[in-house]
Chains A and B, each alone.
Chain A
Amino acid sequence: MSLDLIETVTGDISRGKNLLLRLTTADRLRQDNIDIVKTMADKGYHLIIITTNQPSEVLKKNYESAGIDVARLYFIDAITSYAIGTAPPGEQNVRFIGGPSNLTDLGIAITGALNEFSDKRPCILFDSVSTMLIYLPSATISKFIHNISNRLRLIDTPGIFLAVGKGLDPMMISNLSTFMDDIIQSDVV
């Protein structure tokens, strides 16, 4: 577990810096995701995990093996249906989206989840901004993140965006930094 990351995230959130961009490495992306989810879940937040990188089924297993209670998590899964063609039946606490490029459905799902958990201290985790580049142009991603961050700011809800630092060009990082309250760089980005 990265103590620096945990301290920075908790410190920022307690100081009212709700919108955070975590720039990490590909090797540490999975572990950073688990660390953030564990920390925020321990602090009583109800996490809404938007995944465009790993299927929610894979993430759930990762969290369970890290001792996280997955009942307190809600997934907006934009990758499973896209990869296998259909949404798996009988999944609890998961909303499947047709694909990461379907931003309209993704936006609707995020708004719906924020409304549903508005009284349970919701917190958004976006995994990951860099993976979105497989499916969408960088300008479209910047606009989408801007839109989401504005919504979160309006309802005073924390949002943590994960990205592989070296996968984003300086212009995109500069754009994203204008929407965020803090950028948490991994030491080895």
Chain B
Amino acid sequence: MIMGINVVNRIFNWFRDPENKKFTLVLLVLFCLFLEETIHLYWGIEVAYTHVFYILLVLAAIWYHERAVFLAIVLGVMHIVVSYEVLGELTWPPLLRAMMFILVTAIVAVISSTKDKYQQELVESKKVIEANHGILIAYITESANRLRHPIEIVHDNLRELVKQVEEEGPPGDLKIRLQLQVKNTEQIVENLQELNQAIVTDNNEIPEAYREFISR
């Protein structure tokens, strides 16, 4: 029993999957044509079976939005024509049913397309947030790489130099070693400016006043 339910559930999910929507719709269109042909045209029953049409029309409206209204018109016209064939005259009930096909399809199409539009906007907005977050993380990582560590290098070099001066007196290459550390600190300041420029150019979330401040 449970296995049977599982199988039905899997088949239902397969048909419901948007990946298989074309196949599902073609199958439903064929089924609706079959119902129109047998129940309406052959047996002359013109009520109840048309409820099945709504499954097709609602799914088409969810997946293809306003374009599904054309399918509703086709089904409606077919229903009216068959009804005329059976009764030999044009009556109100099939006309009303055809109009309901179109109306229900149009309502579902509008709701579905609005929902999809909002969903798309949400995805786009999420992408922008993620991109800004990525920029921020990259900035923090690069700042750590190009500022924290270079400062540590300069610190270690100067510490070693001080130690050497204390133990052995000023070495002959003292000037060049100090010049190097001056150059390194100049480069670190340049790196800081460069990184700040990068973040203020790329990240629109920083308020104007802060942008100006960190790019000085």
Contacts and interface: CB of A to CB of B under 8 A. Distances in A.
B145 to A, nearest CB: 5
B212 interface: no
B188 A134 contact: yes
B45 interface: no
A83 B145 contact: no
Interface in A97-150: 130-131, 133-135, 137-138
B173 interface: yes
Nearest to A60: B173
29 contacts: A26-B156, A30-B160, A54-B157, A55-B176, A55-B177, A57-B173, A58-B173, A79-B180, A82-B183, A83-B179, A83-B180, A84-B176, A130-B149, A130-B153, A131-B150, A133-B150, A134-B146, A134-B153, A134-B184, A134-B188, A134-B191, A135-B187, A137-B142, A138-B142, A138-B146, A164-B153, A168-B145, A171-B141, A172-B145
B145 A133 contact: yes
B82 to A, nearest CB: 68
A27 B149 contact: no
A55 B149 contact: no
B152 interface: yes
Nearest to B148: A167
A169 B141 contact: yes
Nearest to A170: B141
Sorted from nearest, which 10 A-B pairs have the closest CB atoms? A167-B149, A83-B180, A134-B150, A26-B156, A83-B179, A83-B183, A138-B145, A133-B145, A134-B187, A169-B141
Contacts, number: 67
Contacts of B11: none
Interface string A24-39: 0011001000000000
Given A138-B142, A169-B141, A164 B149 contact: yes
B183 A27 contact: no
Given A57-B173, A58-B173, A84-B179, A167 B145 contact: yes
Given A133-B146, A134-B191, A172-B145, A55 B153 contact: no
B27 interface: no
| Dominant secondary structure at the B interface | helix
Given A84-B179, A138-B145, A169-B145, A61 B153 contact: no
Contacts of A169: 141, 144-145
A80 interface: yes
Contacts of A53: 153
Contact of B177 (A58, A131, A134): A58
Contacts of B142: 137-138
A154 B182 CA distance: 39
A66 B179 CA distance: 25
Contact of A26 (B152, B182, B184, B188): B152
Nearest to B185: A134
A164 B148 CA distance: 12
Contacts of B188: 134
Contacts of A82: 180, 183
Nearest to A128: B153
Nearest to B195: A137
